[in-house]
DNA sequence: GCAATCACG
DNA sequence: ACGTACGTGATTGCT
């Protein structure tokens, strides 16, 4: 018996189902009819035919080679409605969980890929079953190749083999191409011979076998009119035949075994079916929980030399982790060191008496021939680095791996990850440590529970490696993971260890000044209000302004009156209390967040050690907490004073480099907008140039208002602007805003096209990508809620821009870090602020560092537009920015 | 634990 | 989940 290979035309079935099943949506308005119909069919045919291998094929929206022959090919066909196109992404996502491979290729249609696969399978003695709603597939029927054709919607199928085709049409399957060549196909805009319909075409081919032979015998054709039509349209007939022929040589690596049926990921399927409200399919999923046999044994060791010996002798990769108390490792210390050598059962647990003991393990961590694995590796690297140990590559971190697979998660916890990817039930952090005030320390946990917790942690770390790395490889994120995100961990840990020197005395003095002013302002505000109240409470403030003082209400929030700066700005002049409140807010913010907040976090070394989070921002940016050093004031002179507290150490300087207009440059690159690319090439002020084009004035005559308006539009575009928001931002009417945007998009036509295309791509794929293939899924694109979908569309536009810029600076950081190390320089990278890098450089190295920083940043990646970096040097961040 | 506000790119 | 711009984090008040 031959093996059975089933090829399913996903595009055709989803299309059929979409029109056959009406109005099937989830309660959130996600259209699911196409996907539902497909799955119904899928389960039915798989049950009935029990194939050994399965592949689903899709059309791809790019123009196919057929358009080169005939421009009008499928010309009048309307674009699929968004309710349908949005379902392709959902279906592919489900296929992934079903572990069913799918194929699609630019320039080819689903039937071409199906045909190519079927012929190849035929050579390898498979019995192939093609499942589709498209009658054209019948031309592929052959020995060992059958077609299942849906009939009336998708409820029934007809099975065609060689005999049944011949019976029905009295022709060989391959001759159906000739029939189509003569009769054409209005749905694909294939012309055929005008005036020749199915009846005539069938008759002619039955009689003469092929189009070629029809023309060879043209004089024998009975019927003058028919003969004339044929003669006049000979080229058209041949062209139509060519267009109607399924292409059997799609260039692709074919390995039919790749499509072998695999066990689906039932956990994922259940989740996805629940989201889509496919209850009937949930019932099909196996219900019994798979019992997991624990494959580790934990050992508490008293003497570190025991495990040390083992690790030194072992040539195998190992998982490890340093466990600490509390939620922030920087303000804590490592308590427990655990190892698990890959493939071995034992999980070694060693309770550190002092973190200095880590030095005993230096040789192991600095061995560059074995891979070290961890879940939450940055904390480990931080502790090692803090103790003079440089964890050498190769190393891998499963937290980061999981983040790359889906950056939208709120947290990356090992118990949830283990459940999702390995279907293993772990104790949660909360179960072990408790929560709130009762939260326990590691030392308070009973030994057996601790052993099981750490044992599972290590064993799961080991097992996740294969599962997660496979997904990363499949998605072509190898480079992003291994050459960007993983090396970056060490760079971030190093910045955390280095910290930023802060002048506490200066901050205190500044704080005293601000506090004095706050006291004065409070008094005056109470006077203005005629009562004392808590100015910090928006509720109380609202009552004072809008009830007591009867000022006009500008805007409301969910809970009451809005009192934000925008509202207060509009109320300026109507009461002297307003300006005082604005001033109070400004000064209060500076003292609480930036003076008191920062002073609290200055370490014993006089430096602030922020924590950089690599797995928070969905776009790929890094974020900074405890404290956030990425939002230190700069926009107002008063706020900027805070930056005088951030200083270079003794005998050092700050070298501050920032990318000029990186997001607009990335946009110009992604959109391939000739006009904007050219403007950047000319090195002109891009906002001024934009103003000159959009408002149609000479470059030299652009007013500063024009320029700042153009600047707002440039920024707005990057965020997926709307006329409403722009009008608010620029204080102009909505109509004017609409005109600005229109003019803008007429100037930058490439950007206009890109904006439309990227949304379509997002809908089709279910995600968008950065230049490094960083992925963000956007389920919001499927919402029928106008606002949510609008949000999805803006995100689809903005994420590739913001995310690619993040990719670029990350690459630069790694190269800068490595170069400083390679050249044995003492200067260190200490901070990144999205488009800005700060190096604390020793005075003798300033020049060299300046040069290498600029060189590396400007050449981190090669885009269609040059990257430009501005550098400033100073003793404090105030001077260097 | 959430909402409002405001700091940054 | 968002009455209309993307991405973050800290502080304060209040339930």
Residues 697-736 of A with CB under 7 A from strand C: 712, 715-717, 719-722, 724-726, 729
Asked whether the beta carbons of A372 and A395 are under 8 A apart, the reply is yes
Between the alpha carbon of residue A108 and those of residues A14, A67, A120, A866, the distances in Å are 18, 11, 17, 35
Please give the protein residue whose CA is closest to the C1' of the nucleotide B5. A564
Please give the protein residue whose CA is closest to the C1' of the nucleotide C10. A593
Q: What is the mean pLDDT of residues A321-325?
A: 96
Nucleotide closest to A835 measured between CA and C1': B9
Is the distance between the Cβ of A349 and the closest atom of strand C smaller than 7 Å?
A: no
pLDDT in tens, A358-416: 999 999 999 999 999 999 999 999 999 999 999 999 999 999 999 999 999 999 999 99
pLDDT in tens, A231-253: 888 888 888 888 889 999 999 98
Is the distance between the Cβ of A597 and the closest atom of strand B smaller than 7 Å?
A: no
Query: How long is the CA A722 to C1' C4 vector, in angstroms?
Result: 7
Instruction: Tell me: pLDDT of A579 over 50.
Output: yes
Is the distance between the Cβ of A61 and the closest atom of strand C smaller than 7 Å?
A: no
- Domains of chain A with bracketed CATH: 1-169+253-283 (3.40.50.1010), 171-245 (1.10.150.20), 297-474 (3.30.420.10)
Position A848 confidence tier, pLDDT thresholds 50, 70, 90: very high
Q: What is the mean pLDDT of residues A555-559?
A: 88
Please, which residues have CB within 8 angstroms of residue A637's CB and are 6 or more apart in sequence? none
pLDDT in tens, A326-367: 889 999 999 999 999 999 999 999 999 999 999 999 999 999
Q: Which helix (H) or strand (E) holds A213?
A: helix A211-216
Torsion angles phi and psi, residue A330, rounded to 5 = -65, -35
- Rounded distance between C-alpha atoms, residue A454 and residue A319, angstroms: 12
CA neighbor of A479 nearest in space, from A404, A413, A573, A567: A404
- Interior angle at CA A258, CA A257 and CA A262, nearest 5: 95
Torsion angles phi and psi, residue A635, rounded to 5 = -75, -35
- Interior angle at CA A378, CA A373 and CA A384, nearest 5: 85
- Whole-number pLDDT of residue A863: 97
CA neighbor of A266 nearest in space, from A421, A160, A482: A421
Query: How long is the CA A29 to C1' B1 vector, in angstroms?
Result: 29
- Rounded distance between C-alpha atoms, residue A589 and residue A608, angstroms: 19
Residue A573's region, left for phi above 0, alpha for psi from -120 to 50, else beta, is left
SS3 label, residue A150 = strand
Is the distance between the Cβ of A853 and the closest atom of strand B smaller than 7 Å?
A: no
Name the more confident of A672 and A295: A672
Query: How long is the CA A487 to C1' C11 vector, in angstroms?
Result: 34
In the numeric block, the tokens 């994922």 are attached to A268
Q: What is the mean pLDDT of residues A112-124?
A: 94
In the numeric block, the tokens 């059962």 are attached to A345
Residues 602-621 of A with CB under 7 A from strand C: 613, 616-619, 621
Please, which residues have CB within 8 angstroms of residue A851's CB and are 6 or more apart in sequence? none
Q: Out of A6-10, A429-433, A504-508, A518-522, which region has the weakest mean confidence (pLDDT)?
A: A429-433
Is the distance between the Cβ of A437 and the closest atom of strand B smaller than 7 Å?
A: no
- Whole-number pLDDT of residue A631: 95
DSSP A394-452: PEEEHHHHHHHH-TT-S---HHHHHHHHH------HHHHH--GGGPPPGGGS-HHHHHH
- Whole-number pLDDT of residue A77: 61
Structure token digits, residue A237: 């007939």
Please, which residues have CB within 8 angstroms of residue A767's CB and are 6 or more apart in sequence? A89, A775, A776, A777, A778
Please, which residues have CB within 8 angstroms of residue A356's CB and are 6 or more apart in sequence? A387
Tell me how far apart the terminal alpha carbons of chain A are, to the nearest angstrom: 75
Instruction: Tell me: pLDDT of A291 over 60.
Output: no
- Rounded distance between C-alpha atoms, residue A352 and residue A361, angstroms: 12
Nucleotides of C under 7 A from a protein CB: 1-14
Give all strands (DSSP E) within A470-540, no chain letters. Answer: 500-501
Is the distance between the Cβ of A835 and the closest atom of strand B smaller than 7 Å?
A: yes
Position A78 confidence tier, pLDDT thresholds 50, 70, 90: low
Is the distance between the Cβ of A631 and the closest atom of strand B smaller than 7 Å?
A: yes
The alpha carbon dihedral of A472, A474, A477, A478 has a sign of positive
Nucleotides of B under 7 A from a protein CB: 3-9
In the numeric block, the tokens 């536009």 are attached to A797
Please give the protein residue whose CA is closest to the C1' of the nucleotide C9. A628
Please give the protein residue whose CA is closest to the C1' of the nucleotide C14. A537
Query: How long is the CA A436 to C1' B1 vector, in angstroms?
Result: 12
Position A290 confidence tier, pLDDT thresholds 50, 70, 90: very low
- Rounded distance between C-alpha atoms, residue A741 and residue A752, angstroms: 10
Query: How long is the CA A787 to C1' C1 vector, in angstroms?
Result: 10
- Rounded distance between C-alpha atoms, residue A573 and residue A850, angstroms: 49
SS3 label, residue A838 = strand
Query: How long is the CA A675 to C1' C3 vector, in angstroms?
Result: 35
How many other CB atoms are found less than 10 A from the CB of residue A786? 8
Is the distance between the Cβ of A587 and the closest atom of strand C smaller than 7 Å?
A: no
Highest mean pLDDT among A247-256, A309-318, A809-818: A809-818
Cα torsion through A696, A698, A699, A702, rounded to 10: -70
Q: Out of A370-379, A435-444, A716-725, A825-834, which region has the weakest mean confidence (pLDDT)?
A: A435-444
Is the distance between the Cβ of A656 and the closest atom of strand B smaller than 7 Å?
A: no
Is the distance between the Cβ of A565 and the closest atom of strand B smaller than 7 Å?
A: yes
Q: Facing residues of A872 across strands?
A: A656
- Rounded distance between C-alpha atoms, residue A60 and residue A80, angstroms: 12
Asked whether the beta carbons of A117 and A137 are under 8 A apart, the reply is no
Is the distance between the Cβ of A568 and the closest atom of strand B smaller than 7 Å?
A: yes
Query: How long is the CA A538 to C1' B6 vector, in angstroms?
Result: 13
State the average pLDDT for chain A. Answer: 91
Is the distance between the Cβ of A331 and the closest atom of strand C smaller than 7 Å?
A: no
- Whole-number pLDDT of residue A79: 66
Is the distance between the Cβ of A639 and the closest atom of strand B smaller than 7 Å?
A: yes
Query: How long is the CA A30 to C1' B4 vector, in angstroms?
Result: 32
Query: How long is the CA A582 to C1' C15 vector, in angstroms?
Result: 27
Q: Out of A9-13, A398-402, A648-652, A838-842, which region has the weakest mean confidence (pLDDT)?
A: A9-13
DSSP A297: E
- Interior angle at CA A531, CA A525 and CA A533, nearest 5: 75
Nucleotide closest to A634 measured between CA and C1': B8
Query: How long is the CA A590 to C1' C12 vector, in angstroms?
Result: 14
Q: Which helix (H) or strand (E) holds A157?
A: strand A156-160
Is the distance between the Cβ of A540 and the closest atom of strand C smaller than 7 Å?
A: yes
Query: How long is the CA A676 to C1' C11 vector, in angstroms?
Result: 41
Query: How long is the CA A763 to C1' B5 vector, in angstroms?
Result: 35
- Whole-number pLDDT of residue A286: 79
Nucleotide closest to A734 measured between CA and C1': C4
Structure token digits, residue A132: 């589709």
């Amino acid at each position: 018996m031959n093996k059975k290979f089933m090829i399913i035309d996903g595009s055709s079935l989803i299309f059929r189902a979409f029109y056959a099943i009406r109005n099937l949506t989830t309660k959130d308005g996600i259209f699911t009819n196409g996907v539902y119909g497909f799955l119904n069919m899928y389960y039915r045919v798989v049950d009935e035919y029990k194939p050994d291998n399965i592949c689903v094929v899709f059309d791809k929206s790019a123009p196919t080679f057929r358009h080169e022959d005939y421009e009008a090919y499928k010309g009048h066909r309307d674009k699929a409605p968004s309710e349908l196109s949005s379902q392709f992404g959902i279906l592919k996502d489900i296929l992934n969980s079903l572990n069913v491979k799918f194929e699609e290729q630019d320039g080819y249609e689903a039937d071409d890929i199906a045909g190519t696969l079927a012929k190849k399978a035929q050579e390898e003695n498979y019995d192939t079953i093609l499942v589709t709603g498209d009658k054209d597939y019948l031309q592929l029927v052959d020995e060992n190749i059958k077609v299942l054709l849906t009939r009336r919607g998708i409820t029934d199928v007809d099975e065609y083999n060689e005999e049944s085709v011949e019976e029905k049409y009295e022709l060989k399957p391959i001759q159906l191409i000739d029939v189509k060549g003569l009769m054409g196909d209005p749905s694909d805009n294939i012309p055929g011979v005008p005036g020749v319909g199915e009846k005539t075409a069938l008759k002619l081919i039955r009689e003469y076998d092929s189009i070629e032979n029809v023309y060879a015998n043209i004089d024998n054709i009975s019927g003058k009119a028919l003969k004339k039509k044929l003669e006049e349209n000979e080229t058209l007939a041949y062209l139509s035949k060519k267009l109607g022929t399924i292409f059997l040589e799609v260039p692709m690596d074919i390995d039919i075994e790749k499509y072998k049926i695999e066990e689906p990921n039932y956990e994922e399927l259940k989740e996805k079916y629940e989201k889509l409200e496919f209850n009937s399919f949930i019932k099909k999923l196996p219900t019994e929980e798979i019992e997991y046999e624990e494959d580790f044994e934990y050992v508490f060791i008293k003497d570190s030399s025991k495990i040390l010996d083992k690790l030194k002798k072992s040539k195998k990769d190992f998982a490890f982790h340093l466990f600490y108390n509390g939620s922030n490792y920087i303000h804590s210390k490592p308590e427990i060191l655990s190892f698990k050598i890959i493939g071995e059962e034992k999980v070694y647990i060693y309770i550190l008496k002092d973190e200095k003991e880590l030095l005993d393990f230096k040789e192991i961590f600095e061995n560059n021939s074995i891979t070290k694995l961890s879940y939450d590796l940055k904390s480990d690297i931080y502790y090692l680095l803090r103790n003079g140990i440089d964890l050498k590559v190769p190393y891998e971190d499963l937290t980061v791996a999981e983040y790359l697979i889906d950056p939208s998660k709120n947290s990356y916890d090992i118990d949830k990850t283990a459940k999702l990817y390995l279907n293993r039930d772990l104790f949660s952090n909360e179960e072990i440590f408790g929560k709130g005030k009762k939260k326990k320390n590691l030392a308070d946990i009973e030994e057996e529970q601790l052993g099981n917790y750490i044992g599972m942690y290590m064993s799961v770390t080991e097992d996740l490696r294969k599962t997660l790395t496979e997904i990363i490889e499949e998605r072509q994120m190898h480079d992003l993971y291994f050459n960007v995100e993983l090396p970056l961990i060490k760079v971030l840990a190093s910045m955390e260890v280095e910290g930023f020197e802060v002048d506490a005395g200066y901050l205190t003095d500044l704080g005293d000044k601000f506090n004095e002013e706050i006291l004065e302002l409070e008094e005056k505000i109470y006077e203005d209000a005629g009562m004392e109240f808590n100015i910090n409470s928006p509720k109380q403030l609202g009552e004072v302004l809008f009830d007591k003082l009867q000022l006009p209400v500008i805007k409301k929030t969910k809970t009451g009156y809005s009192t934000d700066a925008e509202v207060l700005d509009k109320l300026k002049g109507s009461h002297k209390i307003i300006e005082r409140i604005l001033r109070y807010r400004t000064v209060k913010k500076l003292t609480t967040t930036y003076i008191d907040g920062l002073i609290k976090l200055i370490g014993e070394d006089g430096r602030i050690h922020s924590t950089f989070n690599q797995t928070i921002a969905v776009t790929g940016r890094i974020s900074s907490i405890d404290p956030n050093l990425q939002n230190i004031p700069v926009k107002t002179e008063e706020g900027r004073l805070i930056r005088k507290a951030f200083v270079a150490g003794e005998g050092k300087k700050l070298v501050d480099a920032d990318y000029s207009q990186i997001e607009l440059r990335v946009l110009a690159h992604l959109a391939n907008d000739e006009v904007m690319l050219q403007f950047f090439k000319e090195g002109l002020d891009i906002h001024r140039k934009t103003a000159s084009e959009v408002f149609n004035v000479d470059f030299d005559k652009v007013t500063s208002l024009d320029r700042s308006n153009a600047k707002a539009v440039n920024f707005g575009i990057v965020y997926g602007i709307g006329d409403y928001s722009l009008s608010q931002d620029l204080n102009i009417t909505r109509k004017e805003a609409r005109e600005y945007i229109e003019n803008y998009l007429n100037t930058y036509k490439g950007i206009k096209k890109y904006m439309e295309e990227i949304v379509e791509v997002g809908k089709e794929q279910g995600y968008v990508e950065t230049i490094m293939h960083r992925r963000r899924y956007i389920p919001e694109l499927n919402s029928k809620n106008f606002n949510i979908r609008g949000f999805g569309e803006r995100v689809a536009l903005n994420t590739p821009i913001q995310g690619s810029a993040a990719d670029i600076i990350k690459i630069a950081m790694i190269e800068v870090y490595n170069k400083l190390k390679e050249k044995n320089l003492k200067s260190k990278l200490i901070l990144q602020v999205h488009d800005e890098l700060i190096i604390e450089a020793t005075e003798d190295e300033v020049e060299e560092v300046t040069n290498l920083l600029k060189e590396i940043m400007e050449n981190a990646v090669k885009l269609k537009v040059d990257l430009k970096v501005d550098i400033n040097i100073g003793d404090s961040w105030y001077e260097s920015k």
